[in-house]
């Protein structure tokens, strides 16, 4: 029995992220004597949703091959949140305007990122980091005024739960299922994986590598913008620093979730497991009474250990 379970875990790398999240959850409950188990799980589902949103977009970019990454996500979140709230102006009738405006920002950010990469021949890590400074400056100039609260209907959608499960989490789970289908069953998704495995071979096979990478950077930016909009609705308004923690998180959830940083292999279910793991890890350290500095150090060390373990499993399979 134990051998078959271990074989199943090795064959499905996304299960490891859920197992890590479960162990962290159990450790926290043991420390608290079992109190607040349901509330902790409900909170994990709520806050992990935003990790999952940006993680899905980042996963597609990383899957296109070594060096491909989007570091503009935090600034994109701040700008999109501020723009969305201002366009909605606290009115339910303006929700559609805010959504369209934020989607437009996502498309423009993705186009700008890829233009820097393709036209100016700047490495993706430098191009997207440079773009983040521009976006952050725009967010400061645009969002420095009084904080605008979200419309009541939008706030209700972002914060409400059914049987303890947030509505927003259910939506993002459905989106994850859809993107899993796109990745494995559509020509675009198979092209992304083929490019990540060998870009030259993919080009010789007739895949338009430049076009596919362009679409992927736009897709990632759109997911980042949607995260900014929903996070602002969930938080009761946008703030300039609300995207800061998603720089590390958007990369960590991808790698911990089982996606190869070398490209060519992606794992959508693992994004959710890794997102739960990250939130529960911070919650556990808070419960243990660790100071802010200690939390940051321990979080970094544990993430490094998990990523190293993940890399070790991949090397073993290779």
Query: Is the pLDDT score of 284 beyond 60?
Result: yes
Q: How would residue 281 be classed by pLDDT, with cut points 50, 70 and 90?
A: confident
Quote the pLDDT of residue 311. 55
Other residues' Cβ atoms within 10 Å of the Cβ of residue 6: 10
Quote the pLDDT of residue 8. 55
Give Rg (Cα) of the chain. 20
Q: What is the mean pLDDT of the chain?
A: 86
Q: Report d(CA 137, CA 141) in Å as an integer.
A: 6
Q: Which residues does residue 161 pair with via DSSP β-bridges, in sequence order?
A: 166
Tens digit of each residue's pLDDT (9 = 90 or more) over 143-155 = 665 578 899 999 9
Phi, psi (deg, nearest 5) at residue 208: -80, 95
Between 137-151, 259-273, 277-291, the lowest mean confidence (pLDDT) is in: 137-151
Quote the pLDDT of residue 317. 42
Percent of the chain with pLDDT over 70: 89
Between 152-156, 220-224, 279-283, the lowest mean confidence (pLDDT) is in: 279-283
Tens digit of each residue's pLDDT (9 = 90 or more) over 4-47 = 555 555 556 667 788 888 888 888 888 887 777 778 888 888 99
- Mean per-residue pLDDT for 158-168? 89
Cβ contact 222:103 at 8 Å: yes
Query: Is the pLDDT score of 76 beyond 90?
Result: yes
Q: Which residues does residue 165 pair with via DSSP β-bridges, in sequence order?
A: 162
Q: Report d(CA 164, CA 310) in Å as an integer.
A: 31
Q: Report d(CA 265, CA 259) in Å as an integer.
A: 6
Q: Report d(CA 272, CA 261) in Å as an integer.
A: 17
Query: Is the pLDDT score of 315 beyond 50?
Result: no
């Amino acid at each position: 029995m134990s051998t078959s379970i271990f074989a199943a875990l090795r064959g499905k790398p996304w299960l490891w992220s859920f197992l890590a999240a479960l162990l962290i959850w159990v450790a926290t409950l043991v420390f608290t004597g079992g109190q607040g188990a349901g509330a902790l799980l409900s909170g994990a589902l709520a806050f992990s949703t935003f990790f999952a949103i940006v993680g899905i977009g980042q996963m597609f970019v990383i899957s296109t091959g070594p060096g491909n990454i989007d570091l503009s996500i935090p600034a994109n979140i701040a700008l999109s949140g501020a723009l969305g709230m201002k366009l909605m102006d606290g009115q339910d009738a303006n929700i559609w305007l805010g959504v369209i405006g934020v989607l437009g920002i996502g498309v423009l950010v993705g186009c700008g990122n890829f233009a820097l990469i393709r036209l100016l021949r700047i490495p993706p890590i430098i191009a997207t980091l440079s773009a983040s400074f521009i976006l952050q400056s725009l967010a400061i100039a645009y969002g420095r005024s009084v904080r605008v609260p979200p419309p009541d209907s939008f706030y209700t959608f972002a914060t409400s739960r059914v049987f303890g499960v947030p509505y927003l989490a259910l939506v993002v789970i459905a989106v994850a299922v859809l993107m899993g289908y796109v990745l494995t069953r559509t020509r675009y998704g198979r092209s992304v994986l083929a490019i990540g495995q060998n870009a030259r071979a993919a080009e010789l096979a007739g895949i338009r590598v430049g076009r596919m990478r362009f679409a992927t950077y736009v897709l990632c930016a759109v997911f980042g913008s949607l995260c900014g909009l929903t996070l602002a609705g969930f938080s009761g308004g946008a703030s300039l620093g609300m995207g800061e923690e998603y720089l590390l998180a958007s990369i960590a959830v991808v790698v911990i979730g089982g996606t190869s940083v070398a490209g060519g292999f992606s794992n959508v279910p693992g994004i959710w497991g890794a997102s739960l793991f990250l939130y529960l890890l911070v919650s556990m350290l808070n419960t243990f009474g660790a100071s802010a500095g200690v939390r940051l150090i321990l979080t970094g060390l544990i993430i490094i250990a998990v990523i190293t373990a993940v890399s070790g499993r991949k090397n073993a399979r290779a």
